Amino acid sequence: MSENIVDQAIGGDTTATTKASNKDQESTSTKSVLDELVGENKPFKDVEALAKAKLESNRFIEQLKEENREMREALKELEEKANRNIALSDILNEVKNAANKEGGEESNNQTSLTETDVAELVERVLEQKQQTQRITSNKKFVELTIKEAFGGDEAKAVEFLKTRTAEVGLNADTVKNLIESSPKAFLKLIGIDPSTKGNKESSGDRPLVNVQRSVNTDSTVFANTRKNYEYFRKLRKEMGVAKFYSDTRLLNEMYAERQRQGDDFYK
């Protein structure tokens, strides 16, 4: 038989009846919620007020999400800075330990860093620090130059940058890399003369070094000597390891010379 027992008993299909019953229940539930929220002496005067409140609630939730994201990024940045400070502190401690052992006998039960090891570690940390400073300086230089080109109007500067980078076919990653590595080349590419920037020295195309040495480099050993690896090795020997690596300005000069000379620095 095609009909089931229930259909036969009541003389028809129960599906339509069931659907109608469900709709009635949903309608009753919705009306019940509206009755609780909307009306006189209720949280909301009418349905429109309820809808506006919902919209504001959604906006507030998105704002909280954005603030949480910014907070997480700020905490991450602080954590990275703390880690860099810890790493530098550890290296300086190793330098001090190595310096204390210069005049004494080396313990057979303890392995110490060699002078070359210390130099490589310090140079690595300095290189990372210089790279970060250079990127920050380059970004600031580009931003200030573009804003000055539009009389300080940030909105116009932003609109110009969006339009111009699209015209020359630069995507976001390419723009970021160019600004960080070659800010003046980037400005010329988008049609702004970087020489119009008032404070040209803000550019990170070269490291800013102002070294005050704690040793007489005009002595016979250093007179008319090219500032290569051998120059700084002799300087380190004359000053002592601890004193040499505690002179941050001297270390900056050594790093700058290595960057400027490239492979010739070690010749």
Q: Per-residue pLDDT tens for 125-156? A: 777 777 888 888 888 888 888 888 888 888 88
User: Where do the domains of the chain lie?
Assistant: 44-101, 131-204, 209-267
pLDDT recorded at residue 31: 60
The Cα-based distances of 158 to 145, 147, 163, 166 in angstroms read 12, 8, 9, 12
57: which residues sit within 8 A by CB, 6+ positions away?
none
Count of Cβ atoms closer than 10 Å to residue 56 Cβ: 10
Instruction: Average the pLDDT over 146-175 and give the result.
Output: 85
pLDDT recorded at residue 27: 53
Bridge partners (DSSP) of residue 38 are 44
The pLDDT tens digits of the residues spanning 45-83 come to 788 877 887 787 777 788 777 776 777 776 676 666 656
Q: 58-62, 124-128, 223-227, 240-244 — which is least confidently predicted? A: 223-227
**pTM score of the predicted model:** 0.35
Q: Which of 72, 155, 87, 154 is nearest to 124 (CA)?
A: 87
Calculate the CA 43 to chain-centre distance: 45
pLDDT recorded at residue 117: 67
The values of phi and psi at residue 221, to 5°, are -65, -35
246: which residues sit within 8 A by CB, 6+ positions away?
92, 95
pLDDT winner (highest mean) among 22-26, 77-81, 181-185, 197-201: 181-185
